[in-house]
């Protein structure tokens, strides 16, 4: 049973970039947890701010409900840190909370944003916080003077404009069997309706790339990831 942890700067980030990974992990009997560091209430809730008299509090409530629905669609549990966005500021206490969550949950795999994004001030901030919490939770691979969890695999998910974020995929995940669940999760994110078609098309493109790599004609949709640490295997 695999434990997968996905950490996003904003409450919808996991849906576009890793909902397929979460759904595949959940349907395989694994445990999936999503941490939303903020609700993206100020910077990533475009549709909601068109409504007259809108407030940050109301937007956060709607975004929480949307993210819970989306997480449920892919069999994941949502943990919301509510740290605020644009700018996201991850306090030392929040890093400690994330590290403690990692020690308790002991994920096999941690997924988050790449460390660069010229279009978003919060995504690289989330990356730094996750990278730090991951190291604080696992120590240096030796006995430590604090409670640790085993080291995790560490990957980043695909950003909106991959080339400009230095993202080079090293893993394609076949999400064909769970694509309907991903679409359902995307539909739950009504505040960012404009992204649903974009990420459905992205999944088709990555499916094409995955077919080319494998020759497996049954792959229709895929998600792309980049490993930050080598995977260790017994045989090539
Ligand atoms: Zn975001």
Q: How far apart are the first and last CA of the chain?
A: 23
pLDDT of residue 158: 98
Please state the rounded mean pLDDT for residues 4-18.
98
CA of 3 to the centre of ligand 1 (A): 23
Expressed in angstroms and rounded, the spacing between residue 146 Cα and the centre of ligand 1 is 32
Question: Which residues touch 141 (CB under 8 Å, ≥6 apart)?
Answer: 151
Distance 159 CA to ligand 1 centre (A): 9
d(CA 236, CA 234): 7
What CATH fold (topology level) applies to the domain 3-227? Rossmann fold (3.40.50)
Q: Phi then psi for 33, rounded to 5 degrees?
A: -125, 135
Q: How far is the CA of 216 from the centre of ligand 1 (A)?
A: 32
Q: Measured in angstroms, how far is the CA atom of residue 18 from the centroid of ligand 1?
A: 13
pLDDT the model gives residue 26: 98
Q: 53 by DSSP, 3-state: which?
A: coil
Q: What is the spatial distance between Cα 172 and Cα 192, in angstroms, rounded to a whole number?
A: 25
Taking CA 100 as the corner, what is the angle to CA 97 and CA 105, rounded to the nearest 5 degrees? 125
Q: What is the CA radius of gyration of the chain?
A: 17
Q: How far away, in angstroms, is 236 Cα from ligand 1 center?
A: 36
Distance 12 CA to ligand 1 centre (A): 7
Query: Distance, CA 17 to ligand 1 centroid (Å)?
Result: 10
Residue-level pLDDT at 64: 97
Q: Which of 98, 116, 117, 113 is closest to 155 using CA atoms?
A: 113
Question: Is 115 within 8 Å of 188 (Cβ atoms)?
Answer: no
The residue-averaged pLDDT of 56-66 equals 96
Each residue's pLDDT tens digit, 132-188: 999 999 988 888 899 999 999 999 999 999 999 999 999 999 999 999 999 999 999
CA of 45 to the centre of ligand 1 (A): 10
- 151: CA distance to ligand 1 center in Å? 26
- Those residues whose beta carbon sits under 5 angstroms from the ion ligand 1 are 9-10, 13
Q: Is the pLDDT of residue 80 over 90?
A: yes
Distance 120 CA to ligand 1 centre (A): 7
192: pLDDT confidence band, cut at 50, 70 and 90? confident
Distance CA 39, CA 59 (A): 8
How sure is the predictor about 230, in pLDDT bands with cuts at 50, 70 and 90? very high
DSSP, res 116: -
Span from the CA of 88 to the centroid of ligand 1 (angstroms): 10
Residue 141: per-residue pLDDT: 80
Q: How confident is the model at residue 90 (pLDDT cuts 50, 70, 90)?
A: very high
Dig out the tokens for 156 from the structure.
Answer: 């980043």
Among positive and negative, which fits the CA dihedral 210, 214, 220, 226? negative
Instruction: Please state the separation of Cα 77 from the chain's center in Å.
Output: 13
Q: How far, in Å, is the centroid of ligand 1 from the Cα of 44? A: 7
Q: Which residue has the tokens 């890093």?
A: 95
* Ligand 1 centroid, distance to 100 Cα (angstroms): 23
Q: Which of 5-9, 43-47, 113-117, 134-138 has the lowest mean pLDDT?
A: 43-47
User: What is the structure's pLDDT at 48?
Assistant: 92
Percent of the chain at pLDDT > 90 equals 93
Cα 38 from Cα 87, distance rounded (Å): 10
Domain segments of the chain as ranges: 3-227
* Average pLDDT along the chain: 96
**Please, which residues have CB within 8 angstroms of residue 85's CB and are 6 or more apart in sequence?**
9, 10, 38, 39, 40, 41, 42, 43, 44, 122
Cα separation of 17 and 30, whole Å? 19
Overall average pLDDT of the 44-71 stretch:
95
């Amino acid at each position: 049973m695999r434990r997968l942890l996905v950490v996003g700067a904003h409450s919808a980030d996991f849906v576009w970039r890793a909902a397929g990974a979460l759904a595949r992990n959940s349907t395989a009997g694994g445990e999936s947890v999503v941490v939303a560091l903020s609700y993206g209430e100020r910077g990533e809730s475009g549709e909601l701010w068109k409504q007259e008299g809108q407030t940050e509090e109301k937007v956060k409530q709607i975004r929480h409900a949307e993210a819970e629905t989306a997480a449920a669609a892919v069999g994941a549990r949502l943990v919301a840190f509510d740290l605020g966005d644009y700018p996201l500021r991850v306090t030392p206490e929040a890093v400690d909370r994330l590290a403690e969550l990692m020690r308790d949950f002991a994920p096999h795999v941690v997924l988050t944003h790449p460390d660069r994004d010229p279009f978003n001030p919060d995504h690289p901030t989330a990356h730094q916080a996750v990278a730090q919490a991951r190291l604080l939770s696992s120590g240096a691979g030796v006995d430590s003077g604090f409670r640790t969890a085993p080291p995790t695999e560490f990957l980043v998910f695909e950003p909106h404009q991959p080339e400009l974020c230095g993202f080079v995929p090293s893993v394609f995940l076949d999400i064909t069997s769970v694509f309907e669940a991903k679409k359902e999760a995307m539909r739950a994110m009504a505040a960012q309706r404009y992204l649903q078609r974009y990420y459905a098309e992205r999944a088709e493109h990555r499916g094409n790339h995955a077919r080319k790599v494998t020759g497996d004609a049954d792959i229709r949709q895929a998600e792309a990831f980049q490993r930050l640490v080598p995977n260790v295997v017994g045989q090539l």
